[in-house]
Amino acid sequence: MTGPLHRFRALPLRSRLALLVTVAVAVAVAAVAAACWFVTKAQLEQQRDTTLRSTKVDNEYLKGLYQYCTRASKLQPQPYTGFTVQLIDAQGTACTAPDSAALPVTAADLAVVDGRRSATLHSETDAVGVKMRVFTYAVPVTVSRGPGLPPADLTLGVSVARPLSEIDKPLSTLAWVLLLVSGIGVVGAGAAGLWVARSGLRPVDELTEAVEHVARTEDLTVRIPVEGEDEIARLSRSFNSMTASLATSRDRQAQLIADAGHELRTPLTSLRTNVELLARSDETGRAIPPDDRKALMSSVKAQMTELASLIGDLQELARPDAAQPGPLQVVALHDIARTALQRARLRGPELTITAELAPWYVRAEPAALERAVVNVLDNAVKFSPAGGTIDVVLHRGELTVRDHGPGIPEDELPHVFERFWRSPSARQLPGSGLGLSIVARTVQQAGGEIALLPADDGDGTVATIRLPGAPQPPPDAPVG
């Protein structure tokens, strides 16, 4: 398709904008010039017709002209100043002043002479081809018919005419002036449109250069200067915000990969060492003592479990929808806590876990919330001494899990929700350092808060999860 519209769309945006401005101004100028010309023409024609209608030739001049035309007098009348004057009698005979071209006599003129019309105004061409505007009216005249004859009372038609060129020439001159001014205006509009396009699209050019720079170099630190509050400024802010978010996301991704690699290196190194010991024993034929072999196999199993847990946590963080919560539902927090307690008791059968769970309903993603509560309880089980006690209380949307373990030093509390962060005292325990960061994210997505603080008596740690209540419990929830 190679039509005008296709060719127009193929032009650069700057050229299209300049062309549109030029065309718009040209149309506006043409419309104004045409309106000006037609209004001027109408005004001049109206003024000319008004002048003709108001022109009344004096009777003495008419008498003299009639006597000259009928040869009753040899005195030649002078041309009437500014007008062509012609007399018409009842028989349709026309008489024109000397040095004036005769005008054709029309039926409308005869109707004025015989009294059927009071006056008429029309355009005609005289005997020499000049276009004239003619006004004809009737006038009674008493004229002398010659020596020895009594005067006669006549009704004559008087045609007063002026050439159309009186206004045609000024109108033609005006048309050329308007055309010249319009041409200058269009050229100026084109130059102004090009200047406006360049000035207006300069931020777009800067944005384009920035995008091309980012695509070419992958440098997300570039920023576009923002000026004003217009659409271009909003676009620039959006681009700056996007590049900042992408830079942050890339930094987090790089940090996540680095941290994951660091965390994976330790269990993999230990697992590799144990597997090499087992393989060397088989290759050399030197049997490993049963107790040592059992310890190696237990170590391999524990490292594989740690790897599986770490990979699971990484998959949780790497999910495409990890940054966005799933569909929120009204769920019973006390039921979720009760299910999590059952799993915690299986993992720490030697521990005493007490629970006081008052009914409380929240809006959250059920699976994610259950995983968060399980992670908090697992943390308490992990750090509780053998035979210790864990107290779990749910009251008015506040779930507290208190263990009686060694606790967390105050200088380490600000880091407990960071990814892969692990207390120096907990580095020998299984875990990936991602559990609490996942818990914090889940609670925040549900509109709640989480805190990890040392117990008031200095014995153990208290994890507190606060979640806002749902507007109403689900329809099948028990009442009371």
**pLDDT at position 167, please?**
84
Among 266, 284, 318, the domain boundary falls at: 318
**pLDDT at position 392, please?**
92
Q: Going by C-beta distance under 8 Å and a sequence separation of 6 or more, which residues neighbour residue 300?
A: 271, 274, 275, 278
Q: How far apart are CA 377 and CA 403, in angstroms?
A: 9
**pLDDT at position 427, please?**
47
Residues 236, 352 within the same domain? no
- The CATH number of the domain holding residue 367 is 3.30.565.10
Residues 185, 273 within the same domain? no
Residues 358, 255 within the same domain? no
Q: How far apart are CA 462 and CA 377, in angstroms?
A: 11
Residues 340, 298 within the same domain? no
Residues 285, 142 within the same domain? no
Query: In whole angstroms, how large is the CA radius of gyration of the chain?
Result: 53
Residues 421, 338 within the same domain? yes
Along the 480 residues of the chain, how does pLDDT read in single tens digits?
Answer: 456 666 656 666 667 777 777 788 888 888 888 899 899 888 988 998 888 888 888 877 887 787 778 776 666 676 667 788 888 888 888 888 777 888 899 999 999 988 888 899 999 998 888 898 999 998 887 766 666 667 777 788 889 998 888 888 888 888 898 888 888 888 887 787 777 777 766 777 777 777 787 778 777 777 777 777 777 778 778 878 888 888 877 776 776 666 566 556 656 777 788 788 778 877 787 777 888 778 778 777 766 776 776 676 666 666 554 445 557 788 888 999 998 888 788 777 788 889 899 998 998 888 788 888 888 888 888 888 888 889 999 988 899 999 888 777 776 766 666 655 555 454 444 444 566 777 888 888 888 888 888 887 767 888 899 999 876 665 555 443
What is the Cβ-side half-sphere exposure of residue 110, based on CA atoms within 13 angstroms?
Answer: 8
The answer to the question of residue 211 being in a domain is no
Residues 364, 282 within the same domain? no
Residues 307, 341 within the same domain? no
**CA-wise closest residue to 161 among 100, 77, 112, 78:** 100
Residues 147, 270 within the same domain? no
The answer to the question of residue 86 being in a domain is yes
Residues 461, 411 within the same domain? yes
Count up the domains in the chain and report the number: 3
pTM exceeds 0.85 for this model: no
**pLDDT at position 393, please?**
92
The answer to the question of residue 206 being in a domain is no
The answer to the question of residue 224 being in a domain is no
Burial 213-242 (b: 16+ CB within 10 A, else e): ebeeeeebeeebeeeeeeebeeebeebbee
Q: Going by C-beta distance under 8 Å and a sequence separation of 6 or more, which residues neighbour residue 453?
A: 413, 461, 462, 464
**pLDDT at position 368, please?**
80
Burial 148-160 (b: 16+ CB within 10 A, else e): eeeeeebebbbbb
* Dihedral class, residue 129 (left if φ above 0, else alpha if ψ from -120 to 50, else beta): left
Among 181, 200, 219, the domain boundary falls at: 200
Q: How far apart are CA 117 and CA 231, in angstroms?
A: 70
The answer to the question of residue 223 being in a domain is no
Write the secondary structure of the chain as one string of H (helix), E (strand) and C (coil): CCCHHHHHHHCCHHHHHHHHHHHHHHHHHHHHHHHHHHHHHHHHHHHHHHHHHHCCCCHHHHHHHHHHHCCCCCCCCCCCCCCEEEEECCCCCEEECCCCCCCCCCHHHHHHHCCCCCEEEEEEECCCCCEEEEEEEEEEEEECCCCCCCCEEEEEEEEEEEECHHHHHHHHHHHHHHHHHHHHHHHHHHHHHHHHHHHHCHHHHHHHHHHHHHHHHCCCCCCCCCCCCCHHHHHHHHHHHHHHHHHHHHHHHHHHHHHHHHHHHHHHHHHHHHHHHHHHHHHHCCCCCHHHHHHHHHHHHHHHHHHHHHHHHHHHHHCCCCCCCCCCEEEEHHHHHHHHHHHHHHHCCCCEEEEEECCCEEEECHHHHHHHHHHHHHHHHHHCCCCCEEEEEEECCEEEEECCCCCCCHHHHHHCCCCCCCCHHHCCCCCCCCHHHHHHHHHHHCCCEEEEEECCCCCCEEEEEECCECCCCCCCCCCC
> What domain range is 408 assigned to?
329-466
Extract the tokens encoding 461.
């740690």
Residues 346, 238 within the same domain? no
- The CATH number of the domain holding residue 270 is 1.10.287.130
Residues 52, 165 within the same domain? yes
The answer to the question of residue 350 being in a domain is yes
Among 318, 341, 366, the domain boundary falls at: 318
The answer to the question of residue 209 being in a domain is no
Residue in this structure with the two tokens 């720490």, named with its chain if needed = 348
The answer to the question of residue 239 being in a domain is yes
